[in-house]
Structure 1
Amino acid sequence: MSGTVTAVSSNGRYSFTKPNRDSVTLLAGLGVEGDVHAGTTVKHRSRVAQDPTQPNLRQVHLIHEELFAEVGADGFRVAPGDLGENITTSGVDLLGLPVGTLLRIGGEAVLEVTGLRNPCRQIDRFQAGLLKRVVGRDEAGRAVLKAGIMSVVREGGVVRPGDPIRVELPSEPHRRLERV
């Protein structure tokens, strides 16, 4: 399985959206250089309030570009970086990956998938009604979270739009992604 990076985004201060960049530098064990969510311990405000010593399993946020077309069919306008992601992808079923999947991006960077992004109310502040489009239910009534996945940086490197993404699944048995 493979895909492509379509955009990269980062922000050095807390804000919901992140501006697009020509490139981002991933730092092993930390996240995106200069991004407010980089670090070895949690940086998301809600997590810090609970326990600031928790390990940061949300160093890099990825969203599949295909989501933008899906919500666009319902009249929402979403572009790369708008939902706070660091890396926008195309061609990879991010939500279907198991925990521990390695994403080899470009020539050097390696991310390890840790879980699903937990969509929050800020999505509705961005565009009213959008939260209901990125959270759904499957046939069994389980929540389906579509707002991307979270990862940690195993090997650093520069990531640019157009970089290839190579997917390496972990050994079986695979564990489904859950909120992190």
Structure 2
Amino acid sequence: MAKVVSINISEKKGTIKKPVEVGYFKENYGLEGDAHAGNWHRQVSLLAQESIDKMKKMGIWDLVAGKFAENITTEGIELHTLPVGTKLKIGKEVVLEISQIGKKCHDACEIKKITGDCIMPREGIFAKVIKGGIARPGDEIEIL
């Protein structure tokens, strides 16, 4: 079963996101309280715990949810293998539509400086909020 491990927000872009107990997702906007929310195609970012674990094996042991600036940390789903346009239902209400796979890593990426690599450009995904609602850690993720 695929599930949400953590929901993370940051008030400023370029900072590590902090976990929250409840995420309020707003249709065509993103995650309320997050600096990346807005009317664009990268409203919400997702990264699998399995991807974070790959980086841990490269020697960075202090990686936790939100360190890659992802809004939703998942488990049990290979996010980066899903095509753009795939819809994901999170919990009972929230529906996201994948809008982009990966992104260019910014020059100040601390993880890339330490290991020579960063997983977010290849395995992080971005989505738009199609249906808003509440999501929490532990919620099931369903591919629609």
TM-score norm. by structure 1 comes to 0.73
Alignment map for 1:166-177 (pairs within 5 Å)? 166-168=142-144
Q: How many residues are treated as equivalent by the alignment?
A: 142
Q: Please tell me whether Structure 1 or Structure 2 has the larger radius of gyration of its CA atoms.
A: 1
Residues 76 and 127, structure 1, Cα contact 8 Å, conserved in 2: no
1:89 shift after superposition? 0.2
Describe the SS at the equivalent of 1:113.
Answer: strand
- Structure 2, unmatched stretches of 5+, are none
Higher mean C-alpha deviation, range 125-134 or range 20-29? 125-134
Structure 1 match to 2:69: 84
Structure 2 match to 1:108: 93
Residues 6 and 73, structure 2, Cα contact 8 Å, conserved in 1: yes
Amino acid paired to 1:33 = E
Q: Which portions of structure 1, spanning 4 or more consecutive aligned residues, are displaced by more than 4 angstroms? A: none
Deviation by residue 1:102-146 (Cα, 9 ceiling, x = unmatched): 0000000000001123122232x25623452427xxxxxxxx712
Structure 1 match to 2:33: 34
Distance in 2 separating the partners of 1:38 and 1:133: 23
Distance in 2 separating the partners of 1:130 and 1:103: 31
Structure 2 match to 1:120: 106
Distance in 2 separating the partners of 1:80 and 1:98: 24
1:3 shift after superposition? 0.5
Amino acid paired to 1:22 = E
Alpha-carbon RMSD across the aligned residues, in angstroms, is 1.7
- Structure 1, unmatched stretches of 5+, are 41-55, 136-143, 169-180
Residues 58 and 115, structure 2, Cα contact 8 Å, conserved in 1: no
Within the alignment, does 1:161 sit opposite 2:131 as a pair?
no
Distance in 2 separating the partners of 1:80 and 1:92: 16
TM-score norm. by structure 2 comes to 0.91
Structure 2 match to 1:5: 4
Amino acid paired to 1:16 = T
Describe the SS at the equivalent of 1:129.
Answer: helix
